[in-house]
Amino acid sequence: MSSMMRLISILLAVLPFLGVGNALAWGRIVNVTQPCVFHGPTGYAWLANITSFSHCSGIIISGLKVPAGVTLSLRNLKNTSVTFQGETSWGYQEWAGPLLSIEGNNVTVKGAPGSVLNGTGELWWDGEGSDGKTKPKFFKLKLTNSTVDDIRIVNSPVHVFSINNCRNLTLANIMIDNSLGDKRGGHNTDGFDISESSDITIVGAKVYNQDDCVAINSGTNIVFRNGTCVGGHGLSIGSVGGRTNNIVSNVLFEDSLIADSENGVRIKTKSGESGTVSNVTYKNIRLENITKIGITVDQSYGATSKAPTSGIPVTNFTLVNITGTVNAKGTNIFVNCGNSSSCESWSWSGVHVTGGKKTKKCLNLPAGISCS
């Protein structure tokens, strides 16, 4: 055996202990029959030097410890898989993030049994959310024709999933557990923020947080199904307005539970802005112990005067079988529309929300809709 071959053999034997599997040596591929594996406290240094994963049979992130102030970034992925094993964690630093970013086409992102992405949000939480300490967002996705499956996330510093410029993406069986933030000052811990994306399906999600379970700021053909949302601000459209893209259309929320949350069903459009919200359906949604408002459409979001405006009409808004309870101090239904044309073509059936107050402050209700 030549001295070079002997050196390669030795290196391949020790690489797993240095933080990268034996598919890589000196940042280049030497054995493509195995996935590229990055793990432990040294694995990130190896990963950061890889400019292409095109020759990897897959990517495994196993017990990786990411340094403070940097993004675990997997870019330009194509026709491959990313698997998380064990606990992936990040060091503490005040910065905007994201902690994790994955971009590509035809990518499968999955969590192995028992795996967890631990944001150690308790190190940042100060009760001020996006204010106070600078907190990193967690997980940025820019994927097409891809799936994200069986991912468990705990203790995000602030917003969790940022789904931006994605096409034909399915997220299945996602667990977001920020329940510790209820007592430790978690805030603005949105579960799924969606913008400028199309054909997005989220199924089987469980979200325990302190803000919107889902917030759709812009996008088309979006489905949230068989989900559980606890402790946050409910299933939301918006806030819409003031962005580059202010169009939301063809959205379906169905067969889901919203419990112990400030709001249940919510559409929020910004005062004084322009855009459209159309063809939105909530179907078979169960509310339990909503503390603020069970069902709300508010076209004055963000206005100090709280006067609704009509620049972002809400049309073809359908509710089917929305049932459940609101806390006695809360309000069952509140609708605040700018004028009669800014809230048109609404169809509500099987809406039965009780326990809270009935308000006489609703404005410009569409025909056939009641706040009582």
The whole-number pLDDT of residue 304 equals 66
Q: Are 261 and 229 in contact (CB under 8 A)?
A: yes
- Residue range 120-146: mean pLDDT, rounded: 97
pLDDT tops 70 at residue 357: yes
Choosing from 39, 159, 187, 233, which is the catalytic residue?
Answer: 233
Which of 43-57, 69-83, 128-142, 201-215 bottoms out in mean pLDDT, i.e. has the lowest? Answer: 43-57
pLDDT tops 70 at residue 7: no
Q: Are 103 and 72 in contact (CB under 8 A)?
A: no
> Which of 244, 275, 253, 259 lies closest to 182, judged by CA?
259
The whole-number pLDDT of residue 174 equals 98
The whole-number pLDDT of residue 61 equals 97
Q: For residue 33, what pLDDT band results from cuts at 50, 70 and 90?
A: low
Q: Where are the domains of the chain?
A: 23-354
The whole-number pLDDT of residue 2 equals 54
- Please indicate whether residue 233 is annotated as part of the active site: yes
Which of 27-36, 119-128, 228-237, 359-368 bottoms out in mean pLDDT, i.e. has the lowest? Answer: 27-36
- Residues 330, 118: Cα–Cα separation, whole Å: 34
The whole-number pLDDT of residue 307 equals 87
The terminus-to-terminus CA distance of the chain in angstroms comes to 85
Burial of 4 (0-12, 13-18, 19+ CB in 10 A): exposed
- Residues 371, 264: Cα–Cα separation, whole Å: 15
Q: For residue 15, what pLDDT band results from cuts at 50, 70 and 90?
A: very low
pLDDT tops 80 at residue 29: no
Which of 25-29, 265-269, 298-302 bottoms out in mean pLDDT, i.e. has the lowest? Answer: 25-29
Looking at every residue in the chain, the average pLDDT score rounds to 92
pLDDT tops 50 at residue 6: no
The whole-number pLDDT of residue 196 equals 98
Which of 22-31, 142-151, 304-313, 358-367 bottoms out in mean pLDDT, i.e. has the lowest? Answer: 22-31
- Residue range 33-37: mean pLDDT, rounded: 84
Q: What are the residues whose beta carbons fall under 8 Å from the beta carbon of 253, sequence distance 6 or more?
A: 214, 223, 224, 225, 235, 265, 281, 282, 283, 285
The whole-number pLDDT of residue 264 equals 98
- Residues 82, 95: Cα–Cα separation, whole Å: 25
Type and span of the H or E element at 236: strand 235-240
Q: Are 234 and 207 in contact (CB under 8 A)?
A: no
Q: Are 248 and 271 in contact (CB under 8 A)?
A: no
- Residue range 133-139: mean pLDDT, rounded: 98
The residue with tokens 């030549």 is: 2
The domain 23-354 having CATH identifier 1.10.260.40: the answer here is: no
pLDDT tops 90 at residue 344: yes
- Residues 236, 364: Cα–Cα separation, whole Å: 21
The residue with tokens 């970034």 is: 73
- Region of 367 (left: φ > 0; alpha: ψ -120 to 50; beta: rest) is beta
Q: For residue 306, what pLDDT band results from cuts at 50, 70 and 90?
A: confident
| Rounded percentage of the chain residues whose pLDDT exceeds 90 | 86
Q: What is the pLDDT of residues 205-224, one digit of tens each?
A: 999 999 999 999 999 999 99
